[in-house]
Amino acid sequence: MTEKRYLKWYNKVGYGSGDIAGNVVYAFLSSFVMIYLTNTVGLNPGIVGTLIAVSKLLDGVTDIFFGSLIDKTHSKMGKARPWMLYGYIGCAITLVAIFAIPANLGQFAQYAWFLIAYTLLNAVFYTANNIAYSALTALVTKNSAEQVEMGSYRFMFAFATSLLIQSITLGAVTALGGGAAGWRTVAIIYAIIGLLVNTLSVFSVKELPEGELVDTTDKKEIEQDEKYNLVQAAKLLAGNKYYMMICGTYILQQIYGAMISMGTYYATYILGNQNLFGVFSWAVNIPLIIALVFTPTLVAKWNGMYKLNVMSYTLATISRALVAVAGYMGSGNVTLMLLFTAIAALGQGPWQGDMNAVIAACSEYTWLTKHKRVDGTMYSCTSLGVKLGGGLGTAITGWLLAASHFDSSLAVQPESCISMLKIMYLVIPFALDAIITFILSRLKVEEANEQLRAAMDN
């Protein structure tokens, strides 16, 4: 029996474009906030890392909180779209604030400014926007193939945006006057672009009526299912082993991304050319986009997402090991590093494309086992992963830079720093990919749902 289809091509493209807005924030922040704070503002990377870690403690509960609010929202726009629309306004303001730390403030005040702006961005505005955006995958269609297609479109836009930001930002800062003024102007431009695209994405799709999202027409039963508090929501998530696996994978991916962002330092202080960071960005993002184009077809051909995800991430793990080998060849074999970086990215692509559909399956698992609709709460793993993983990853890079005696005033860093940069950029990404591959090998949520549905039919 053919599944009903809900979306036109322009709905999927419009939805996917929303990750341009998301990565205007995330890619810009994760790739450049540390080098901006250390080399332009003059802050200590160790202290910055500690502040980021403190910020993660402050915003640790907001993911489930906003996810629960989305589940309980009833408006003409639906459950998720209002949060996506209005949350981004705060994202734009706080993004500019982070890259506009006044030079005339005392250093203590500069640290405080960063902590406040960074926490507001992550704990409140990005959380509301990103969970809502991710939850739309399960709220605008019930067709699993369309959910995979939405994820593929989304991450094609995400990686294309990341590629562009990583390729042009340093040059744009210089072209716009350099220093603090250059960073501030670039942040304002990115924030305006994000606002426009996010608004377009919000109005490109329409959420399904609430009664159509569940296999019942009993409105009282639906309303009863929604009656759970924050503690109960947390228990629902913790009781879903597949949610915990996805959340752990997402966190590890963001730590991975933070380590790869050390490419700005690696290219500058080891390869001797900061522009090579943009070249490596091409080697990462172009293969990812290519993989995303074929992901829906591969999912259909392999009758599901599990086998594809495990096999492709195994390829990524082996390739990251070879990147490390090439990096430790004398002063580093850049050609081989680029080649294996591209192959690794190709292997990571399918999971990025079908991840939202896996989360939707995970949400269905909670519905089948607990009879609760928690789509918004379930998609909290996306924001939680970005905030905890990205924040923890950036914090760790700051601590490791400080421990290795990094000094932004030096053109040539001490050997301890050079060794640490190699570990962060070459060794740790390989180890993280290996752990992710193991987790994905246990993520059999599609099979579990089929068994549960079969038991219910009997």
Cβ neighbourhood burial of 301 (10 Å; 0-12, 13-18, 19+):
exposed
22 within a domain of the structure (yes/no): yes
385 within a domain of the structure (yes/no): yes
Residue 320 is predicted with a pLDDT of 97
- 178: left (phi > 0), else alpha (psi -120 to 50), else beta? left
Distance CA 127, CA 412 (A): 39
Per-residue tokens: 310: 């495990």
Residue 221 is predicted with a pLDDT of 46
Q: Domain of 31: which CATH number?
A: 1.20.1250.20
Which pairs with CB-CB distance under 8 Å and at least 24 residues apart come from 108-114?
110/41, 110/43, 111/43, 111/47, 111/48, 111/51, 114/37, 114/43, 114/48, 114/51
With contact defined as beta carbons under 8 Å apart, do 294 and 312 qualify?
A: no
Domain range for 99 is 15-205+226-457
Distance CA 375, CA 383 (A): 14
24 within a domain of the structure (yes/no): yes
Percent of residues in the chain assigned helix, strand, coil, to nearest 5 = 80, 0, 20
Token match 């301890």: residue? 416
Looking at residue 206, the DSSP 8-state letter turns out to be -
Distance CA 36, CA 178 (A): 11
Domain count, the chain: 1
Distance CA 109, CA 111 (A): 5
Please list, in sequence order, all residues whose beta carbon lies within 8 angstroms of the beta carbon of residue 155, skipping any fewer than 6 positions away. 16, 19, 288, 292, 349, 352, 353
Cβ neighbourhood burial of 361 (10 Å; 0-12, 13-18, 19+):
buried
Distance CA 349, CA 445 (A): 20
Residue 358 is predicted with a pLDDT of 87
With contact defined as beta carbons under 8 Å apart, do 262 and 35 qualify?
A: no
215 within a domain of the structure (yes/no): no
The letter for the amino acid at 65 is F
Distance CA 219, CA 228 (A): 16
The sign of the CA dihedral 126, 30, 289, 379 is: negative
127 within a domain of the structure (yes/no): yes
Radius of gyration of the chain (CA): 22
Token match 């005040």: residue? 109
Residue 32 is predicted with a pLDDT of 92
The HSE-up count of residue 24 (CA atoms within 13 Å, CB side) is: 25
72 within a domain of the structure (yes/no): yes
7 within a domain of the structure (yes/no): no
Q: How far is Cα of residue 4 from the mean position of the Cα atoms in its chain?
A: 30
Count Cβ neighbours within 10 Å for each residue of 365-376 and write b for 16 or more, e otherwise: bbbbebebbbbb
Distance CA 129, CA 355 (A): 18
Q: How confident is the model over 245-259, as pLDDT tens digits?
A: 988 998 899 899 989
**Distance, first Cα to last Cα, the chain:** 19
CA distance to 74, 214, 256, 430, per residue, from 141 (Å) = 18, 12, 31, 36
Cβ neighbourhood burial of 2 (10 Å; 0-12, 13-18, 19+):
exposed
235 within a domain of the structure (yes/no): yes
With contact defined as beta carbons under 8 Å apart, do 232 and 372 qualify?
A: no
CA distance to 63, 96, 243, per residue, from 190 (Å) = 25, 9, 33
Please list, in sequence order, all residues whose beta carbon lies within 8 angstroms of the beta carbon of residue 389, skipping any fewer than 6 positions away. 250, 251, 252, 253, 254, 255, 257, 258
Residue 255 is predicted with a pLDDT of 92
Residue 222 is predicted with a pLDDT of 47
pLDDT digit of tens for each residue in the chain (458 aa)? 567 888 998 999 999 999 999 999 988 988 899 899 999 999 999 999 899 888 876 666 677 788 788 888 889 899 999 999 999 999 999 999 999 999 999 999 999 999 999 999 988 999 899 889 988 988 999 888 888 888 888 888 988 898 899 889 999 999 999 999 999 999 999 999 999 999 999 999 999 887 776 654 444 444 445 556 667 777 888 888 998 898 899 889 989 998 998 999 999 999 988 889 889 989 998 998 899 888 888 888 887 889 999 999 999 999 999 999 999 987 679 999 999 999 999 999 999 888 878 888 888 888 888 877 776 677 666 667 767 787 788 889 999 999 999 998 888 999 999 999 999 999 999 999 999 999 999 999 989 988 988 888 77
